[in-house]
Structure 1
Amino acid sequence: MPKATTDRFSRAHRPSVKQTSLSSATHGASLVTRNPMFNTERFGQHILKNPQISEESVHANVKPTDTVLEVGPGTGNLTVRILEKAKSVVAIEMDPRMAAELTKRVQGTGAQKRLHIMIGDFVKADLPFFDICISNTPYQISSPLIFRLLSHRPLFRVAILMFQKEFAMRLVARPGSPLWSRLSANVQLYAKVDHVRAVSRNNFRPPPQVDSSVVRLVPLDPPPPVKFEEFDGLTRIVFSRRNKTVHANFAAKGVLAMLESNWRTWCSEKDITITDEEDFKKKVESILEESGYGAKRAASLDVDDFLKLLSAFHDCGIHFA
């Protein structure tokens, strides 16, 4: 039986009599349109119906020794292709009815013992070991999925992920481009991201309102020795107005007060005395000037620039988390 990741999804729904009477020929993508019980849009899920895209995702990346984590398998059009090549597959599905269909699809085949289904929320699930992740990602969990994967240990080898095109383009954006953003920098701190191919909305059932793109994500091994909360805290400030100077963004309302509170906490923990003559604003302005980043704009800074700026603040005891 599929394993539930939360109590809410402790049991898979039993298929209806009408559903059971359908022949095996109706299984897969066609079942989604014939049976209205599969309201895939409820979970932001659109079933990939183009076999060529599925085969490209599998054959170029999956090895016979791989354990594959698949997020949002739906009725299993991609899953069965992965099972043809991989050692085993762990599929995480939000919809118990889809999980039941996927279970039936492999029942009685040699792949049955190599498929493990978890029913529930990927973001909350206890992820097992896996070598590669393949996902036709429900749009509403795109960002949580990326950072859930990047925080997973041990590190996986590669992830092949399909996202809404605009989101994918932000992931692979480079400094100086219009799409370079806090998301771009935060992801590229921990992984190499490449665009694989564009996917038209017509390759899905039901078709979404936007096109998609496939990206390839390879985590850096070893990962940089930087706390994500610190790096994200810095990029949150600098990208708050990406076309303003870094100095202007640090002067925004509430930023200095938050950083000073963090600094005073750090000094207290280190038993460092703060004198009445300390001018925190001048301290921050001095760091920005001496580092050379105060007059620059977020849109032009790369990951190394952010790391250097973060290090300059840390050297003075100023933290962002």
Structure 2
Amino acid sequence: MGKIKKTKNPKTAQNTQALPFNTDRGQHILKNPGVVNAIVEKSALKASDTVFEVGPGTGNLTVKMLEAAKKVVACEIDPRMISELKKRVLGTPSQNKLEVRSGDVMKMEWPYFDVCVANLPYQISSPFVFKLLLQRPLPRYAVLMFQKEFADRLIAKPGDKDYCRLSVNVQLLAKVDHLMKVKRTEFRPPPKVDSAVVRIAPKNPPPPINFQEWEGLLRLCFLRKNKKLISIFKQTNVANLIEENYRKVCSLKNKPIPKDFNVKELIESTMVESGFAERRARTMAVEEFLLLLLTFNKVDIHFC
């Protein structure tokens, strides 16, 4: 990626200097119009799009998206920022294209939107992503800015040091691409770490699996991502959980359980025969976790 040209915008500078920012709420406003323009360009908005923006702040990104999209629905928790944003578009052609919603984005009902664009506070990054991926109807994609460490986990591949349960969960439901890095110096006030912008495009239709059970399996696999799976699943506390679920399933299916039933033997035979016993979570792709879940389900082992 080429260098982003730094340009000055007196109006933007005046707006951002007039307001004290609440960093506890993740208020770090992009001050470089070159970065803002790059994000809008990479968002590839259509003239017919409704955009959902979270945390618009003083509107540096919002006003550029209003030029490209049909409508922007901006969600902001800070009344001061809402006032600044509304003042900024007052009397302009964009005024009727902007809808501002006040409140906590994680507690409100989301509107319909085609694309989501947001510079997210770190503390809501993970729950926001999963709420986005469970949104119906699914958006076309989201262009989101995160702290770099979080973005690295989203895009990590099997074997990478950042590969984790988050990587697998998100990549099950979406295609994730890294778009650009953003240095901490591009914000006012500057955060403690650099940021990155990623595009998350939900798979449509989503994979037809029980996400609660999928999550239960992954939690166990990533208890120790460098440990062999057989060692994790034969731990007494894990085996007891699996046996409890197994007995419930057998009861529902009227399937008799032998008096000498040993759940650890069932776990071991299933994993050895399927070739997963010696595998480690840190090296397994999404498709392999899906196969592991199917392998367990075939012998009535479930995780919810």
Kindly provide the CA deviation profile for residues 174-199 of structure 1, in whole angstroms up to 9, marking residues without a partner as x: 11111111110000001111111111
Partner of 1:16: none
Say if 2:49 is the partner of 1:62: no
Query: Which letter maps to 1:34?
Result: A
Equivalences for residues 46-61 of structure 1 within 5 A: 46-60=28-42, 61=44
Say whether the 8 Å CA contact 1:201–1:208 is kept in structure 2.
yes
What is the CA–CA distance in structure 2 between the aligned matches of 1:69 and 1:113, rounded to whole Å? 15
Aligned counterpart in structure 2 of residue 288 of structure 1, from 271, 284, 299: 271
Aligned counterpart in structure 1 of residue 90 of structure 2, from 107, 110, 113: 107
Equivalences for residues 126-145 of structure 1 within 5 A: 126-145=109-128
Partner of 1:15: none
User: Structure 1: where are the runs of 5+ without partners?
Assistant: 1-24
User: Structure 2: where are the runs of 5+ without partners?
Assistant: 1-8
What is the CA–CA distance in structure 2 between the aligned matches of 1:115 and 1:259, rounded to whole Å? 51
Say whether the 8 Å CA contact 1:233–1:320 is kept in structure 2.
yes
Say whether the 8 Å CA contact 1:93–1:118 is kept in structure 2.
yes
CA displacement at 1:126 relative to structure 2: 0.8
Q: TM-score, normalised by structure 2?
A: 0.93
CA displacement at 1:270 relative to structure 2: 2.4
Query: Which letter maps to 1:33?
Result: Q
Partner of 1:160: 143
Kindly provide the CA deviation profile for residues 89-127 of structure 1, in whole angstroms up to 9, marking residues without a partner as x: 111112122112212211222212211111111122211
CA displacement at 1:279 relative to structure 2: 1.4
What is the CA–CA distance in structure 2 between the aligned matches of 1:54 and 1:92, rounded to whole Å? 18
- CA 1:27–1:100: 2 relative to 1, 3 Å: farther
Partner of 2:182: 199
SS at match of 1:278: coil
What is the CA–CA distance in structure 2 between the aligned matches of 1:132 and 1:56, rounded to whole Å? 16
SS at match of 2:93: coil
Say if 2:290 is the partner of 1:307: yes
| Comparing 81-90 and 54-63, the one that deviates more | 54-63
CA displacement at 1:29 relative to structure 2: 5.1
Kindly provide the CA deviation profile for residues 71-106 of structure 1, in whole angstroms up to 9, marking residues without a partner as x: 111111000000001000111112122112212211
Equivalences for residues 158-307 of structure 1 within 5 A: 158-307=141-290
Say whether the 8 Å CA contact 1:150–1:190 is kept in structure 2.
yes
CA displacement at 1:28 relative to structure 2: 4.2
Q: TM-score, normalised by structure 1?
A: 0.88
RMSD of aligned C-alpha atoms? 1.6
Say whether the 8 Å CA contact 2:46–2:68 is kept in structure 1.
yes
Say whether the 8 Å CA contact 2:58–2:85 is kept in structure 1.
yes
Aligned pair count? 295
Say whether the 8 Å CA contact 1:234–1:310 is kept in structure 2.
yes
Say whether the 8 Å CA contact 1:29–1:48 is kept in structure 2.
no
SS at match of 1:62: coil
Partner of 1:87: 70
What is the CA–CA distance in structure 1 between the aligned matches of 2:11 and 2:230, rounded to whole Å? 58
Identity across aligned pairs (percent)? 50
Say whether the 8 Å CA contact 2:51–2:117 is kept in structure 1.
yes
CA displacement at 1:269 relative to structure 2: 2.3
* Structure 1 runs, 4 residues or longer, greater than 4 Å off: 25-29
CA displacement at 1:27 relative to structure 2: 6.0
What is the CA–CA distance in structure 2 between the aligned matches of 1:169 and 1:200, rounded to whole Å? 15
CA displacement at 1:155 relative to structure 2: 1.0
